[in-house]
Amino acid sequence: MLEVVKQKRITKEELLSRVSEESIYNMYAGPFIEGRAKYSPFRKESRPSFSIWRNSKGKLRHKDHGNDEYSGDCIDFVMQKFSLSFQEALDKINRDFSGVITYRPKIERAEPTRPKVITPKVRPYNNRDLVYWEQYGISKEVLEREEIFSVESYSIEGKEYVVGDELCFGYKFEEGWKIYFPMRTNFKWFSSIPNTMLEWGEIKHRDYLIITKSRKDRLVLSSIVPNVANCQNESRSLLTEDNLKLIKLFKKVYLLFDSDAPGIRAAEAIAEEMGWTNVHITGYDNVKDPAELVSRVDNGREILKGFLNNLLTQ
């Protein structure tokens, strides 16, 4: 029997030593088959886009392919589903499982999956492509250096999709591609890249590191200050052993995620867990990240420059 812990703050490690990841996902996401898509628990949809699978270290992870913000581990899932902070999610699970006999249920597993093969057909940038990136101060030369390409079609596992009139870009990695539709609200990303990957800008010293949540935001920030890296989404997927070995080389770490509710919750949880400093872009309507500040606010780049200078001289 699992009893409520009579302490002020339960830790993730203690909780997961007594309640399995499988039990948590079953409780809050419903029955699932590892590696097989099911309907999203976050919204109504016409085709299944949500999956739970086991990574190379044997840990369960989830991802909603219709909204990249909904990804991570079982604790992230509870945070996302119930709009809770990291500690609130731990406390909820602890309460909900009080008096419940916990066990590792027999989980039906789909056949082991490999990353989907995504192959884009790229074309020269047109004026519309360049205007889109120029609003963020990102030039054609930077796009070429960062291997961000304009896409006219792409294939997933051999099935081809024509982009048509949509803006579409391909981010190239050694491991594969991410396809990006910037004007969409759902299904903005198709990726064969691990969510654990960190991308690094120019590193000049070890006094600080700024970690933001996208390549676009990294490019905006890196045009002003060095020592910027970006993860792939706003979850604890960046907290791998290999990533942390590098991050711990820096004296101070700033986490700069979106200033909307999901970004704030995620950043607060990670910062609290790791002892990092959580910062946000706030005070501007319809602006939640560095790229939007530059593109939507008059003199936004100078405002961002002042924000960063103030942050790094504290």
Gap between the Cα atoms of 138 and 173, Å rounded: 19
Residue 51 DSSP one-character state: E
Using DSSP bridges, classify how beta strands 189-191 and 169-173 pair: parallel, antiparallel or unpaired.
Answer: unpaired
CATH architecture, range 12-96: Alpha-Beta Complex (3.90)
Tens digit of pLDDT for each residue in 295-304?
A: 999 999 999 9
pLDDT confidence band for 8 (50 / 70 / 90): low
Q: Work out whether the CA dihedral 246, 252, 256, 257 comes out positive or negative.
A: positive
CB 234 within 8 Å of CB 266: yes
Gap between the Cα atoms of 73 and 50, Å rounded: 13
pLDDT of residue 312: 94
Task: Provide long-range contacts, Cβ within 8 A and 24+ apart, for 226-230.
Answer: 226/201, 226/202, 227/201, 227/202, 227/203, 228/201, 229/198, 229/199, 229/200, 229/201, 230/198, 230/199
Tens digit of pLDDT for each residue in 116-167?
A: 789 999 999 999 999 999 999 999 999 999 999 999 999 998 899 999 999 9
Ranges for all domains in the chain classified under CATH 3.40.1360.10:
199-312
pLDDT of residue 68: 77
Domain covering 199-312, topology: Dna Topoisomerase Vi A Subunit; Chain: A, domain 2 (3.40.1360)
Which residue reads 């606010």 in tokens?
A: 297
Ranges for all domains in the chain classified under CATH 3.90.580.10:
12-96
How large a percentage of the chain has pLDDT more than 70?
A: 92
The pTM score is: 0.70
pLDDT of residue 217: 97
Highest mean pLDDT among 24-28, 168-172, 269-273: 168-172
Tens digit of pLDDT for each residue in 246-286?
A: 999 999 999 999 998 888 888 888 898 899 999 999 999 89
Distances (CA, A) of 299 to 137, 158, 159, 281: 12, 45, 44, 15
